[in-house]
Amino acid sequence: MKSMRYLLLLAVFGLVAVYSCSGEPVDAGVVLQRGIPADPETLDQHKARSTQAADVLRDLGEGLVGYSPTGELVPAGATGWKVSEDGRTYTFHLRPEARWSNGDPVTAEHYVFAFRRLVTPATAAFYANMLADVMNAADAVAGRVPAEQLGVEAVDDLMLVVRLERPTPYLLSLLTHPSTFPLHPASVAEHGDSFARPGTLISNGAFTLEAWVPGSVLSLRRNEHFWNDAATALDGVNHHVVVQDAAELNRYRAGELHITSTVPPDNFEELKVQFGDELRVAPYLGIYYYGFNLLKPPFKDNPELRQALSMAVDREQLATKILGRGEVPAFSWVPPGVSRYEPTVMSFATLSREARESLARRLYKEAGYSEERPLKVELRYNTSDTNKKIAAAVQSMWLNVLGVEATLVNEEFQVLLANMRDAEVTQVFRSSWMGDYNDAHTFLSVLQAGNAANMPRYANDEYESLMQRAASQVDAERRRLYLEEAERVMLADHPLLPLYFFVSKHLVRPEVGGWGDNVLDYHYSQHLSLSATE
Amino acid sequence: MLRYTLLRVLGAIPTLLLVIALAFLMVHAAPGGPFDDERVLPADVEANIAHAYHLDEPLPKQFVRYLSGLLQGDLGPSYRYRDYTVSELIGNSFPLSLQLGALAMALAVVVGVSAGTVAALRQDSYLDRLVMACSMTGISVPVFVFAPVLVLLFAVKLQWLPAGWSSASGGARLVLPVITLALPQVAYIARLTRASMIDVLGRDFIRTARAQGLGTLTVVRLHALKPAMLPVLSYMGPAVAAILTGSVVVEEIFGIPGLGQFFVRGALNRDYTLVLGIVVFYATLIVLLNLVVDILYGVIDPRVRYR
Amino acid sequence: MKNRAITVSGTILLTIAVVALVGPWLSPHDYVSTDFDRVLLAPTIADAHLFGTDELGRDLFVRTMLGIRVTLLVALVASFVSLVIGVAYGAIAGFVGGRVDAVMMRFVDTLYALPFIFFVILLMVAFERNFLLIFVAIGAVNWLDMARIVRGQTLSLREREFVEAARLTGVRNRRIIFRHIAPNLIGIVVVYVTLTIPQAILVESFLSFLGLGIQEPQTSLGALVDAGVNLMEGASWALLFPAGLLALILMCFNFFGDGLRDFFDARQAN
């Protein structure tokens, strides 16, 4: 008995001793601690699709173009570019001093290699459509032509030519996306699809991947071969995976994180008081909306009903009372702050509450419903505290203003997504859309017929033709007019119920320098610095 | 003994198969797939992915494919952590969970038995009442209440201990998780020990020992402890299961990349292979553990051997 | 002495159950109405928010009462499920004995080995957190202990004289089980049911923590406690009331079960 107990204790202490000295990356120098909400699913830039993967990839790599801390396009891998008259040929001059983390120079061929891999069907890249406007891209993704026929060419080591199917004014924004970063061909050839691991990943950005403990932390280290390494203030960045908002907040308060990825939804006023300037809230390129299933009753062919439901929602109250973190009530589809665009606003945005509600009631009647014959509808949303709050509020508003009897159905995200795609059981469903690049097109294209992200299944000929015409415009002003008209046409149809525009919210410690609020919520670690702490 | 052991092992195999099949079905029955995301996949891309991971094959075929991989020790790639295989993830996370669990178990036994013994020796005194009250609290308050409270106190307010696993190295970051994990078990074991010890202390042979002039502590150590520990020993099985359950919560709260965490994430993300891999791994492990316990039982109490 | 444990904890439990049933009728609030002007209020007599309000402005007293109902219901039903399965299984194994018993118990032993909490999670994930399924899931994985105990008891009972006598006089097996063995099992079964109830309650609260338990706007004590933990600093009442009641209920069940066990032990000794 005694000996067994001692044995057990001994074994345990042995374990402790072994693991106490386990290989967690030793921090040396100035290291920034950031929180991310989940592990990147992969660091293969072609197979990644989550925001957290993109954030880490932006620290590891660099594309032709980048963003400044305040969201302006700046040269990165390319020093400059020329656009042809017809807007369909871009010539990029690459930076001669650009290097990979193993010292190899970055050449145009590396970009070509990466672009081809992006559109290769076998890669199954989610963001293959980043290059959708490049000549032959669509055909390559569908497998109709080999990827070698993609309209990109390395004229020489430092000159890259990109040929487009149509003028694409927002092409440069697209080229900031990690899926368009170059790849080191020898590395991919040698390691195949597992080239993106610590120790084998060769990156051309400000940092290299030193270690990755899945579920825990990604450790990045300064890339000494980076062409702009002299300007990089940080020696390392640790991205800590923290799933729960509350836990992240605790770690921030305990001094373990310099930057959080988000802020818990409750008690926002308290947080403002407690943290003051450390709390950074900025408009974000994303919209939270309720979609209507346009393929089935009751919303099929019933624009009055849709409009009534839309008007019955008090968006101001939602944004201020329920969310209260600076979210903007949404009366349009495209968020404010998108470059070179003025979103159309729905007609009832300026009405007083009473006027709006009485108009809603009239439309409701016209749609064939009343107190005696109320609309019974299901509102689906995926599990989250915020979603629950909003759904409960909207349910309550519909009931009070119109007498609508809404049932709330809470589903796990994968389930909801499957239901939305099938469009069989859904009636009203919660969804959201985040812009991939800073142009109205990233939002308006969603509602084109045939787009997989078109959850309401909106299909309108006038909308389509306006979008087509916008796509063929070279002149930015003409294009903008067509896009704005398209949005107006779509909003008048009420295929969805915009609720609010997202804001990005972070806690940032005062000693972090170089943080810029921008509408894309990109915060490259290479722009950040840490001043001496206490 | 050998025959007995072998029979047990052989008997476990069909159950293991059943477990795997069950888990396989349940994971695949769950609506939604591993590659769904907030963004929607274009149809051809989706087809490509499904094909690459054999998700377009009929279910029985996928199952057979999985089993044959198992036999070769290949647990498959993780669908959620695409740069890692399931074996790697389990290999990295299991030692952590083991360390956590073993420490918690050790703490629970040492503290629980001591507390229970003290309470039994000072039955109905203040100390006894205190120990009993504490242990009652320990089993009545869920772990996910204790842990945040402790984090708030020790990590945020006092800043004596780290709030997150990845922000420190070494022993300090083990303290809070281990204590939180051990608490309910300490409480339960204390109660068990106390009851059992009271019972043993009342027996004749103890009175004899006392009459022989031996001090209380000596009596306890030499004579009472061993028999009093038997209920605790038989509780070890359920205790392991309880610690396993608790570890899921503790790992989530402290951000520890242990097996429990990966399982829950895997189940919610429909990471089929990871979930199955963990189930298989654990089932095998616990079957082995049971075997060990049975053998130990035979060592401690020879009468058990000849059932 | 131990009777006091039974009576005191029993009374408390009964009181809680009664208040949980009746209380909501006495309150002007319901459990689902949100009120964004009255978010996170501290407990107050005015407005009849005895336990305050939560982050959506819902009355916490009514919600806590509802939570108690749900928690007790889940626990009782789950325990009943595991009781039925466990008793049937154990009684058959114990009574039939021999080979069948050995196989049945071997099965239990190996099932015991399985990480059942994983299966509960998988079940909940696979079947979309069906309310009913929670009971079934918890009950279906908890019956093992009951089966073991019942089997042991049945085995020992089987050897007792009165059973021998009954068999000798030609009484049919089924009769023996029902008339002679079953009544003697009641004691031990009741004790174990009151001891598995706390376990079921904790499993449900654990599922709520993972987001797999009872769904909005319904709630359970576990779900309320989980929500309360996040509000701990700003609105401590949101945690204290549900957690306190949860702890109280668990303690009472434990004491009750202990008391019952002592009672039956004493009776056995005679």
In angstroms, rounded to a whole number, what is the distance separating the alpha carbons of residues A466 and C203?
57
In angstroms, what separates the C-alpha of B143 from chain C's closest C-alpha?
Answer: 9
Chains meeting B at 3+ CB pairs closer than 8 A? A, C
Chains meeting C at 3+ CB pairs closer than 8 A? A, B
DSSP, residue by residue, B211-229: HTT--HHHHIIIIIHHHHT
What residues of chain B lie within 8 A of the CB of C122, using their CB?
A: 23, 26-27, 30, 267, 275
Under a CB-based contact definition with an 8 Å cutoff, are residues A419 and A431 in contact? no
- Extract the runs of DSSP E, i.e. beta strands, from A351-448: 376-382, 405-411, 428-434
Residues of chain A with pLDDT > 70: what percent? 95
CA dihedral (C78, C81, C87, C89) positive or negative: negative
The answer to whether the Cβ–Cβ distance between C215 and A412 falls below 8 Å is no
Q: Which of A319-333, B268-282, C123-137, C183-197 has the lowest mean pLDDT?
A: C123-137
Q: Which of C113, C118, C205 is nearest residue B142 as measured by Cβ atoms?
A: C205
Q: Which of A46-55, A371-380, A405-414 has the lowest mean pLDDT?
A: A405-414
How many other CB atoms sit within 10 Å of the CB of residue B101? Answer: 23
What residues of chain C lie within 8 A of the CB of A383, using their CB?
A: 211
Q: Which of A266, A410, A412 is nearest residue C231 as measured by Cβ atoms?
A: A266
What residues of chain A lie within 8 A of the CB of C40, using their CB?
A: 267
Query: For residue A268, which of A349, A389, A396 has the smallest C-alpha distance?
Result: A389
Contacts (Cβ under 8 Å, ≥6 apart) of A146: A140
Query: For residue A192, which of A246, A239, A123, A109 has the smallest C-alpha distance?
Result: A123
* Whole-number pLDDT of residue C128: 65
Rg over CA atoms, chain C = 22
What residues of chain B lie within 8 A of the CB of A502, using their CB?
A: none
Under a CB-based contact definition with an 8 Å cutoff, are residues C150 and C189 in contact? yes
Residues of chain C with pLDDT > 70: what percent? 86
Q: Which of A123-132, A357-366, A431-440 has the lowest mean pLDDT?
A: A123-132
Query: For residue B279, which of B291, B294, B262 has the smallest C-alpha distance?
Result: B262
* Whole-number pLDDT of residue C104: 81
What residues of chain C lie within 8 A of the CB of B259, using their CB?
A: none
Question: Looking at chain C from residue 95 to 134, which residues have their Cβ under 8 Å from any Cβ of chain B?
Answer: 106-107, 109-119, 121-123, 125-128
Q: Which of A125-129, A164-168, A244-248, C237-241 has the lowest mean pLDDT?
A: A125-129
Indicate the burial class of A85 (C-beta count within 10 angstroms; 0-12, 13-18, 19 or more): exposed
What residues of chain B lie within 8 A of the CB of C198, using their CB?
A: 139-140
Q: Give the model's confidence band at A204: pLDDT under 50 very low, under 70 low, under 90 confident, else very high.
A: very high
> Percentages helix, strand, coil for chain B, rounded to the nearest 5?
80, 0, 20
Please tell me which of A42-56, A312-326, C195-209 the model is most confident about, judged by mean pLDDT. Answer: A42-56
In angstroms, what separates the C-alpha of A432 from chain B's closest C-alpha?
Answer: 8
Kindly tell me if the per-residue pLDDT of C52 is higher than 70: yes
Under a CB-based contact definition with an 8 Å cutoff, are residues A507 and A262 in contact? no
What residues of chain A lie within 8 A of the CB of B169, using their CB?
A: 20, 22, 24
CA dihedral (B238, B239, B242, B243) positive or negative: negative
Q: How far is CA C255 from the centre of its chain?
A: 14
- What region does B225 belong to: left with phi over 0, alpha with psi -120 to 50, or beta? alpha
Question: What tokens does B255 get?
Answer: 């951000």
Torsion angle (degrees, nearest 10) of CA C19, C22, C28, C30? 90
In angstroms, what separates the C-alpha of C252 from chain B's closest C-alpha?
Answer: 10
In angstroms, what separates the C-alpha of A57 from chain C's closest C-alpha?
Answer: 30
Q: Give the model's confidence band at A463: pLDDT under 50 very low, under 70 low, under 90 confident, else very high.
A: very high
Please tell me which of A100-109, B17-26, C28-37 the model is most confident about, judged by mean pLDDT. Answer: A100-109
Question: What tokens does A180 get?
Answer: 């368009």
What residues of chain C lie within 8 A of the CB of A392, using their CB?
A: 32, 34, 56, 216-217
The answer to whether the Cβ–Cβ distance between C115 and B136 falls below 8 Å is no
Q: Give the model's confidence band at A21: pLDDT under 50 very low, under 70 low, under 90 confident, else very high.
A: very low
pLDDT tens-digit map of B158-167: 888 888 888 8
Q: Give the model's confidence band at B133: pLDDT under 50 very low, under 70 low, under 90 confident, else very high.
A: confident
Q: Which phi and psi (to 5°) does residue A482 adopt?
A: -65, -40
Q: Give the model's confidence band at A2: pLDDT under 50 very low, under 70 low, under 90 confident, else very high.
A: very low
In angstroms, what separates the C-alpha of A185 from chain B's closest C-alpha?
Answer: 18
This complex has an ipTM of 0.83
Question: What tokens does B103 get?
Answer: 């420490």
In angstroms, rounded to a whole number, what is the distance separating the alpha carbons of residues A455 and C201?
40
Interface test with C, best of A267, A320, A389 (most C CBs within 10 A): A267
In angstroms, rounded to a whole number, what is the distance separating the alpha carbons of residues C223 and B199?
39
The answer to whether the Cβ–Cβ distance between C216 and A396 falls below 8 Å is no
Q: Compute the average pLDDT of residues B280-301.
A: 72
What residues of chain C lie within 8 A of the CB of A254, using their CB?
A: none
Q: Which residue of B has its CA nearest to C248?
A: B140
What residues of chain A lie within 8 A of the CB of B252, using their CB?
A: 243-244
Mode of pairing for the β-strands spanning A496-507 and A279-292:
antiparallel
* Whole-number pLDDT of residue A3: 46
Give the bridge partners for A212, in sequence order.
A218
H or E segment to which residue A500 belongs:
strand A496-507
Q: Which of B19, B238, B249 is nearest residue C114 as measured by Cβ atoms?
A: B19
User: Cα–Cα distances in Å, from C135 out to A485, C16, C70, C76, C193?
Assistant: 55, 21, 11, 9, 14
Q: Does B144 touch chain C (CB under 8 A)?
A: yes
Kindly tell me if the per-residue pLDDT of A114 is higher than 90: yes
Kindly tell me if the per-residue pLDDT of A392 is higher than 60: yes
In angstroms, rounded to a whole number, what is the distance separating the alpha carbons of residues B173 and B164?
7
* Whole-number pLDDT of residue B36: 61
What is the amino acid identity at position A323? L
Q: Does A266 touch chain C (CB under 8 A)?
A: yes
Under a CB-based contact definition with an 8 Å cutoff, are residues B164 and A242 in contact? yes
* Whole-number pLDDT of residue B155: 87
pLDDT tens-digit map of C189-221: 887 788 788 888 888 888 888 877 777 678 889
Indicate the burial class of A125 (C-beta count within 10 angstroms; 0-12, 13-18, 19 or more): buried
Under a CB-based contact definition with an 8 Å cutoff, are residues B139 and C254 in contact? yes
Q: Which residue of A has its CA nearest to C228?
A: A266
Burial A146-183 (b: 16+ CB within 10 A, else e): ebeebbbebeeebebbbbbeebbbbbbbbbbbbbbbbb
3-state secondary structure of C32: coil
Contacts (Cβ under 8 Å, ≥6 apart) of A49: A41, A126, A127, B37, B39
- Extract the runs of DSSP E, i.e. beta strands, from B81-123: none
Contacts (Cβ under 8 Å, ≥6 apart) of B226: A1
The answer to whether the Cβ–Cβ distance between A47 and B148 falls below 8 Å is no
pLDDT tens-digit map of C60-101: 888 899 999 999 988 888 888 888 888 888 888 877 777 888
* Whole-number pLDDT of residue A492: 92
Kindly tell me if the per-residue pLDDT of C8 is higher than 90: no
Under a CB-based contact definition with an 8 Å cutoff, are residues A42 and A209 in contact? no
Q: Which of A141, A250, A414 is nearest residue B270 as measured by Cβ atoms?
A: A414
